[in-house]
Amino acid sequence: MKERFLDLWSRIGAEGSGEREFEELYARYTESHRAYHNIWHIEDCLAEFDTAKHLASDPLALEMAIWYHDVIYETDGSADNEKESADLAYSTLVKAGVSEAFAEKVRYLIMATKHETIPEEGDAKLMADIDLATLGQPWEKFNRNRKNIREEYSRIPYENFAAGTRKIFEGFMNKQKRPSIYQTEFFRNKYEVAAETNMNRAMALLG
């Protein structure tokens, strides 16, 4: 993974080798409280990106956004994770001499992973879909990821966690507000049916 990041760092024309920036990313993604939002989630997202990068108008910005989209991740409410991740990406890139336009695109793409609204721009749709690809995985992997997210929020009473999970899943499947879980035809064809099946099965287990 390190070699991949350093290659990307070079391709975007950033100053320096990218070694320091990678080490910061790696340190954050291997923090002890992360059971799901960790370096393996980034690896999974990059694998999804590789299958869909031909659809991106700015694949370099999309790939960089994947690297940074969960770099800040706290579960105690002390951080606005997506915004702080987006801001850190922006400041890091600008300090490295990357254009403000590119850095702003990366920040914009990271904000798409809040999943509060349906993205309008194509790369933002891809970013959101890549982040949600976990929902369409085979049940064993989906369920393992679900349990890992529960571990990250273990301080929260189960009843509260279950209610929050149900609200999120129902929001993704609310056809009136969200015609589909995935916003691109590519990921709809790949994961839509499996994601809906997984979320319904998980909600049945919540009690």
For residue 76, the model assigns a pLDDT of 85
Q: Which residues contact 160 (CB under 8 A, 6 or more apart)?
A: none
If phi > 0 it is left, if psi is from -120 to 50 it is alpha, else beta; for residue 16 that is left
The ranges assigned to domains in the chain are: 2-206
For residue 55, the model assigns a pLDDT of 98
d(CA 144, CA 157): 19
For residue 70, the model assigns a pLDDT of 97
Q: Which amino acid makes up residue 80?
A: D
Averaged pLDDT, groups of 10, the chain, 207 residues long: 98 97 98 97 99 98 99 88 97 98 98 94 98 98 97 96 96 94 98 98 93
d(CA 200, CA 175): 14
Residue 195 phi, psi (nearest 5): -65, -45
For residue 79, the model assigns a pLDDT of 73
Q: Which CATH class name applies to 2-206?
A: mainly alpha
pTM above 0.85, yes or no: yes
